[in-house]
Amino acid sequence: MSCKQSKSSLLTLNEALFPVILLLKEEKACVLVGFDSDNAPQVIYPELPDATTTVPLEGLAAQYSGYMVYCKPKYTANKRASLTGSPESGHWFWSTWSKCRGLYRDVITASLLINVLALGMPLFIMNVYDRVVPNHSTSTLWVLATGLTIVLIADFSLKMMRTWFVDLASLRTDVEVSSRIMSRVLGLSLASKPASTGAFANSIQSFESVRGFTSSLTILALVDLPFSLLFIAIIAWIGLPLILPILIGAALLLIYAASIQRQLKAMADATMKASAHKNAVVVEAINNLETVKSFNGEGHIQSDFEASSLEVSRQNAAMRLLSGTVTQGATFVQHTVAVAIIVIGVYLLIDGQLSQGGLIAAYLLSSRVMAPISQTAGLLAQYHNAATAMETLDTVMDLPQERPEGKEWLSRANLTGKIEFRNVSFRYPDDERYALHNASFVLQPGEHVVVLGKNGSGKTTLQRLLLGLYQPESGAVLFDGVDIRQLDPAFIRRQIGYVPQDVHLMHGSLKHNVLLGDPSASDERLLKASQLSGMDALASKHPAGFDLVIGENGQGLSGGQRQTVAITRALVNDPMIMILDEPTESLDHSAEASLCHSLKRVGENRTMVMITHRSLLMELASRIIVIDNGQIVADGPKQEVIEALRSGRISGGKA
């Protein structure tokens, strides 16, 4: 949207630009849709976003602050108008950073004033020694002291303001960039997901290096650097030979900092790789802690972690040592330059080319010259950490998304439940074998089907394609005759109730986990789904009820209870399609019978795809599809397929 804020009374608003956002008093707002025939305003309040309310003009005028915002959709050129093919939003970091250019303009303005005011102290000292002391002019001393005090107060105020501006810009950038990174991670296409979760998380965390490098210290050092030329010019005006130590010291410092860049880059790359491996080991060990303990794998994991930790520590120590030579070298050069200025200044003073006040002023100004140069040299030592992190994050941000920018989706109210696989073939990334090959079948709305197959036969791949988690390599998956690639993945998943075999729950309450995809769902829907799945019995056993807090990955719940929560989550949106992957595997016989009875009732008008070998669930189906080695080897009425499996005419029906 393109927005413009303006000030206007209610009666002088441009009705051609309605609707308009009215900014009300007490930091509230509403949308003015228009005026009815009686000139009464029709507004929409945030508390009732879907309802238009007619209010008295006098009442709205009393709440109106006098400011409003006109909004309209931005013009978007079609794809053929783009010559570069690059997204309009620009680089994920620099485009966000550039939005704060107004603040940085103020920072530069403040820096200009601060560096001009920095001349106050040296000029004060020079005048005191050259004019006040020889002439015993105390009245001049007090005038100069008063003026310098005003300068110091202004300098303090400007520095605090500048720091606040830089931190404000950093805060805005950090919030938006962090949000963009997380959005890209959540929108990542599963086909492009990196193999190692720990290494991937480490890549995301590397943003801390970028944020640290672009912090206030970096900005202020770069802003102050050009003003070194101003101070050099003033030192040259005081005594031209005095600038020689400064020029030589600055040149030596910057040349040395530049000469070690290749070594720092190699160390930064090695540190990033070792850190990614270390993080991957930690995440994998935590996620599989039970397995590690069950098979006495602690020793192997510990040694792998120690080796990667040692490499990270070794590389960090080497980088700190090399960077320290720049930092300590900058301090050494700064002090050496100051000594050289004093030595040269004394000779000039003896020769009558320099006053005593001028020597002290030049000494003070030399520190103002060398400080930003030293900081810049230090930044060069830190640069490659941030540059390596930026390259890693660029790779992450360039990974394909399942909802590409600019993609237009077809809109449907709801799905009826018709599903078609039309010659679908699919291979996982970096795998030459087909997980599913030339699969074709049609499910009519309300049809119940069981999918049978051995482990690795392609059953899981089939359900992932139905959920739009992966796209077929060839062929098409259609819902109600529409290719799934034309439908918004979020819309598809709202229309499907999915119960996975491996249930993963998050830290939070039962209600939070059930309403994960629709937090605004009503309590009525929650209670109805809980009654169908049997989760209401679980909630009633605890005083907290649906607010019962469970740990990460469902800690505190049994396998059957986790499965019950997953089934409730699948039913809460009242979907027309249900995909159940061994939904009763963790349930006892009575719970399984109860769930099957509920599914029979709730699935009457729904399309159900069940991956199971449990006889009770198979009773709900009228059709069986058998998959073997990625191919459909049988598809027909339940009794005919079961008879063919028993007689051995087809194989692959047992896991």
CATH code, domain with 221: 1.20.1560.10
Is 91 inside any structural domain? no
Is there a single domain that holds both residue 430 and residue 391?
no
Is there a single domain that holds both residue 392 and residue 459?
no
Is there a single domain that holds both residue 70 and residue 107?
no
Whichever domain contains 47, its CATH number is: 3.90.70.10
Output b/e per residue, 590-617; b: 16+ Cβ within 10 A. Answer: ebbebbbebbeebbeebbbbbbbebebb
Instruction: Work out how many domains the chain is built from and give that number.
Output: 3
Closest CA to 357 of 518, 238, 179, 269: 238
Closest CA to 565 of 592, 606, 529: 529
Is 405 inside any structural domain? no
Is there a single domain that holds both residue 67 and residue 113?
no
pLDDT in tens, 41-90: 899 988 877 778 888 988 889 899 989 998 887 766 555 554 444 444 57
Is 165 inside any structural domain? yes
Tell me the three state secondary structure of residue 477. strand
The helix or strand, by DSSP H or E, that contains position 53, with its residue range, turns out to be: strand 53-54
Rounded Cα distance between 650 and 655, Å, is 14
Asked if residue 560 lies in contact with residue 539, where contact means CB atoms within 8 angstroms, the answer is: no
The amino acid at 607: T
Is there a single domain that holds both residue 521 and residue 621?
yes
Is there a single domain that holds both residue 312 and residue 188?
yes
Q: Which pair of tokens denotes residue 152?
A: 């110091």
Query: Which of 349, 365, 397 is at the close of a domain?
Result: 397
Asked if residue 338 lies in contact with residue 367, where contact means CB atoms within 8 angstroms, the answer is: yes
Is 539 inside any structural domain? yes
Measured in residues, the chain has a length of 655
Q: Which pair of tokens denotes residue 567?
A: 């089934």
Is there a single domain that holds both residue 174 and residue 41?
no
Angle subtended by helix axes 261-287 and 243-259, to nearest 10: 50
Is there a single domain that holds both residue 280 and residue 345?
yes
Is 29 inside any structural domain? yes
Q: Tell me what pLDDT residue 78 has.
A: 56
Listed in sequence order, the DSSP H helices in 137-215 are 138-186, 197-205, 207-213
Is 409 inside any structural domain? no
Whichever domain contains 426, its CATH number is: 3.40.50.300
Q: Tell me what pLDDT residue 89 has.
A: 56
Rounded Cα distance between 579 and 269, Å, is 45
CA distances from 471 to 349, 481, 483, 495 (A): 82, 16, 11, 18
First to last CA, the chain: 54
Tell me the three state secondary structure of residue 377. helix
CA distances from 72 to 19, 35, 66 (A): 9, 19, 20
Q: Which pair of tokens denotes residue 103?
A: 């603040």
Is there a single domain that holds both residue 55 and residue 176?
no
Is 562 inside any structural domain? yes
Is there a single domain that holds both residue 503 and residue 355?
no
Rounded Cα distance between 513 and 546, Å, is 10
Is there a single domain that holds both residue 154 and residue 217?
yes
Rounded Cα distance between 210 and 296, Å, is 40
Asked if residue 531 lies in contact with residue 525, where contact means CB atoms within 8 angstroms, the answer is: no
How far out from the chain centre does Cα 520 lie?
A: 23
Output b/e per residue, 372-406; b: 16+ Cβ within 10 A. Answer: bbbbbbbbbbbbbbbbbbbebbeebbebebbeeee
The amino acid at 645: L
Beta strands across the sheet bearing 496-499: 496-499, 577-581, 607-611, 448-453, 623-628, 631-637
Q: Tell me what pLDDT residue 76 has.
A: 60
DSSP code per residue over 330-361: HHHHHHHHHHHHHHHHHHHHHTTSS-HHHHHH
Q: Tell me what pLDDT residue 81 has.
A: 52
Rounded average pLDDT per 10-residue block, the chain, 655 residues: 85 85 90 87 83 87 90 66 50 78 83 85 84 85 91 90 83 82 83 77 77 68 79 87 89 85 83 84 81 81 87 85 83 88 88 84 84 78 77 84 80 85 90 89 92 87 90 92 89 87 84 82 84 82 85 78 84 87 78 78 83 83 89 89 83 57
Q: Tell me what pLDDT residue 79 has.
A: 54
Is there a single domain that holds both residue 216 and residue 163?
yes
Is 391 inside any structural domain? yes
| Owning domain of residue 20 | 2-77
The amino acid at 34: G
